[in-house]
A and B are shown apart, each in its own frame.
Chain A
Amino acid sequence: MSVAIAPAVLVERSVPMAGAVELVVYHPPSAGAVRPGQFFQLAVGAPHTILRRPYSAAWSDSTRGIIGFIFNVVGAGSAWLAARGEGDELDLLGPLGRGFELDGTRPAVCIAGGLGVAVFPGVVQALVALGRKVTMLQGARTAVQLLSADRFPGADVQVATDDGSAGRRGSVLTLFPPPFTGEGQGRGIDLFACGPTPMLQALIDTARRQEIPLSSIQVALETPMGCGVGTCLGCAAPRREGGYLLTCQDGPCVRADRLDWDRMEDQFHG
């Protein structure tokens, strides 16, 4: 594992969707090393906080030496990061964990609920670059919380919103399986999913009903995290054969058949 604690420079800050912030940081070694689905631990300087905050790289550009992070402002740590200005230094630890396994020839379907979409710009870009047919299904509460479809060039983007303000009304799962899968339903495709635990559980339920093998589904897990490198054992996720995986080392991207979905908890992220 090549892990670096690196001073990186914030070069661009924007609001990609309501409630979220996108930070673009310049750090060529990390931009060159990170794989889609991997994460970094970002140090925060907010009063009375102590832990780093784990964020997946939304995308990276090794040529320009930059990485993007997209996150919601949910607490003191994310608020502190969101308040950084261009030119400020950020302290990154990473890249950490396992990204998605992207190789393959079958159609790829990405499913994102809420902020789970934050990991997908880089994933979709890599899948498209591999020549795969890519469908991006994105769900949010309301239209302004959707990441723009032009962030997924080369993919067929479909959206759903809880209030029906954009795309189909309902959860992102109302878009699944996408029509091209036809009568075969979701078999014969590879799935990449990230979102709230209830959404992932609903996806797994759907997959079981439609006899889609869970080994064809990769999920990017989000759990509270302490160290990010496997020492604190805080980021446990239930393993199918009993015991726990560590999200930071065994994930965050894992195949769904490695997890015990009956024991998956919707964890507290305050």
Chain B
Amino acid sequence: MAERLDLTVDLGRGLRLRSPVLVASGTFGYGFDAPQVDRAALGAIVTKGTTLRAREGNAPNRIAETPSGMLNAIGLQNPGVDHVARVYAPVWTSWNLPVIVNVAGDAIDEYVAVARRLDGVAGIAGLELNISCPNVADGLQFGVEPDLAAELTSAVRAVTRLPVIVKLTPNVTDIVAIARAVEDAGADAVSAINTYVGMAIDVRRRRPVLSRVSGGLSGPAIKPLALHAVWQLAQAIRIPVIGVGGITTPGDALEFLLAGAAAVQLGTVNYTRPEAAGEVHDGIAAYLEEHGWPDLGSLPIRSAGVLANA
């Protein structure tokens, strides 16, 4: 690839990534379990959702494959923020790769406590607030109420110097209203979108496949839905939008970038094709080069003309 190509992305508050390709929360653990992935191709890792105390997660079944997608209801199984700060973060300092910790909780106080614990910890580049995890009791409400989403965002903003990204749920009537609320409350960027709530039924046993009945739908099945959400958001807010939802190929990623996303996250594809992140990175670079564009800012989405034809 030509040296002159610049694929860096600025997500605000000093969070500059060398690549617009990130791996999505819950699909890459804490970065330790997928040795076959080429970390050099990644802009950043977003970790598994992390709560104040360790959580054991939901009973099985936790996952189910559905047409072009999968459902999951893992239940935020994680070792707790203290373990992340003490054991994982020191390792991350040597990776030359930004690690963004996804933060989850049941109450604003829990998010604030997690953010406080991670503030100033070497090896952590930013926070992504999971205000939309559909798999734990009450997890949904922060993401569906603009006022609550804003209150949570500003409470976290007040206790950390780290960049704060808010991951939006699509299970709402008006995702733009939520995004505007968190932007006004001090979010540096948003990730759009989290999984859609869905379910599957085992007809042989006549009961839901997942132990929690419903779960989050991810994978190529939701890509057009995610893309439209990103398209709407990119026109409505000024902070960067990180597109996520079913991205599998370089072409998928380019669709999100052309819809106005500043960066993309790869999720479910990491389970099956760990080499996808590298391919997407290279595909974006090849596309820019083919069109003679030196950087991501040259993509024509930023011109009003493209948007006007929506």
**Which residue numbers of A lie inside 8 Å of B, CB to CB?**
1, 3-5, 41, 43, 48-52, 93, 223-238, 242-244, 249, 263, 265, 267-268, 270
Judge whether B163 is part of the interface by a CB distance below 8 angstroms: no
User: With A51-B70, A231-B33, A231-B270 as given contacts, are A265 and B61 in contact (CB-CB < 8 Å)?
Assistant: yes
**Which residue numbers of B lie inside 8 Å of A, CB to CB?**
26-29, 33-36, 48, 56-65, 67-70, 72, 74, 77, 202, 204-205, 209, 211, 219-220, 268-275
Q: How far is the CA of A52 from the CA of B70 in the complex (A)?
A: 12
Q: Is the interface of A mostly helix, strand, loop or mixed?
A: loop
Task: List B contacts of A226 (CB < 8 A).
Answer: 63, 70, 72, 271
A-B pair count, CB < 8 Å, reads: 110
Q: How far is the CA of A56 from the CA of B199 in the complex (A)?
A: 29
The answer to whether B74 touches A233 (Cβ under 8 A) is yes
Task: List B contacts of A244 (CB < 8 A).
Answer: 56-57, 60, 77
Task: List A contacts of B48 (CB < 8 A).
Answer: 233
The answer to whether B219 touches A224 (Cβ under 8 A) is no
The answer to whether B64 touches A50 (Cβ under 8 A) is no
The answer to whether B275 touches A5 (Cβ under 8 A) is yes
Query: What's the minimum C-beta distance from B47 to chain A, rounded to whole angstroms?
Result: 10
B33, B56, B57, B272: the one within 8 Å of A230 (CB):
B33
Q: Is the interface of B mostly helix, strand, loop or mixed?
A: loop
Q: Which residue of B lies closest to A225 (CB)?
A: B63
Q: Which residue of A lies closest to B30 (CB)?
A: A231
The answer to whether A236 touches B33 (Cβ under 8 A) is no
The answer to whether A1 touches B219 (Cβ under 8 A) is no
Q: Which residue of B lies closest to A249 (CB)?
A: B33
User: With A3-B35, A226-B70 as given contacts, are A267 and B60 in contact (CB-CB < 8 Å)?
Assistant: yes
Task: List B contacts of A5 (CB < 8 A).
Answer: 36, 274-275
Q: How far is the CA of A269 from the CA of B72 in the complex (A)?
A: 14
The answer to whether A224 touches B61 (Cβ under 8 A) is yes
5 contacts between A and B (CB under 8 A): A43-B272, A48-B67, A52-B271, A233-B26, A236-B60
The answer to whether B63 touches A229 (Cβ under 8 A) is no
The answer to whether B65 touches A263 (Cβ under 8 A) is no
Task: List A contacts of B64 (CB < 8 A).
Answer: 224, 268, 270
5 nearest CB pairs, A to B: A234-B63, A230-B33, A243-B56, A227-B271, A231-B29
The answer to whether A232 touches B271 (Cβ under 8 A) is yes
The answer to whether B27 touches A232 (Cβ under 8 A) is yes
Q: How far is the CA of A20 from the CA of B209 in the complex (A)?
A: 25
Task: List A contacts of B70 (CB < 8 A).
Answer: 50-51, 226
The answer to whether A223 touches B271 (Cβ under 8 A) is no
The answer to whether A232 touches B26 (Cβ under 8 A) is yes
User: With A1-B35, A233-B57, A265-B60 as given contacts, are A227 and B270 in contact (CB-CB < 8 Å)?
Assistant: yes
Task: List A contacts of B61 (CB < 8 A).
Answer: 224, 265, 267-268
Q: How far is the CA of A91 from the CA of B69 in the complex (A)?
A: 20
Q: Which residue of B lies closest to A264 (CB)?
A: B60
The answer to whether B59 touches A231 (Cβ under 8 A) is no
Q: How far is the CA of A227 from the CA of B67 in the complex (A)?
A: 17
Query: What's the minimum C-beta distance from A74 to chain B, rounded to whole angstroms?
Result: 11
A48, A224, A231, A263: the one within 8 Å of B271 (CB):
A231
Task: List B contacts of A234 (CB < 8 A).
Answer: 62-63, 72, 74
The answer to whether A237 touches B34 (Cβ under 8 A) is no
Q: Which residue of B lies closest to A223 (CB)?
A: B60
Task: List A contacts of B271 (CB < 8 A).
Answer: 51-52, 226-228, 231-232
Query: What's the minimum C-beta distance from B55 to chain A, rounded to whole angstroms?
Result: 9
Query: What's the minimum C-beta distance from A124 to chain B, rounded to whole angstroms?
Result: 29
The answer to whether B272 touches A50 (Cβ under 8 A) is yes
Task: List A contacts of B57 (CB < 8 A).
Answer: 233, 236, 243-244
Interface centre among A43, A50, A235, A243 (most CB of B within 10 A): A50
The answer to whether A52 touches B60 (Cβ under 8 A) is no
Task: List B contacts of A237 (CB < 8 A).
Answer: 60
The answer to whether A265 touches B59 (Cβ under 8 A) is yes
A1, A228, A232, A249: the one within 8 Å of B74 (CB):
A232
The answer to whether B60 touches A232 (Cβ under 8 A) is no
Q: How far is the CA of A224 from the CA of B29 in the complex (A)?
A: 18
The answer to whether A229 touches B34 (Cβ under 8 A) is yes
Task: List A contacts of B60 (CB < 8 A).
Answer: 223-224, 235-238, 244, 265, 267
Q: How far is the CA of A52 from the CA of B274 in the complex (A)?
A: 12
Q: Which residue of A lies closest to B211 (CB)?
A: A265
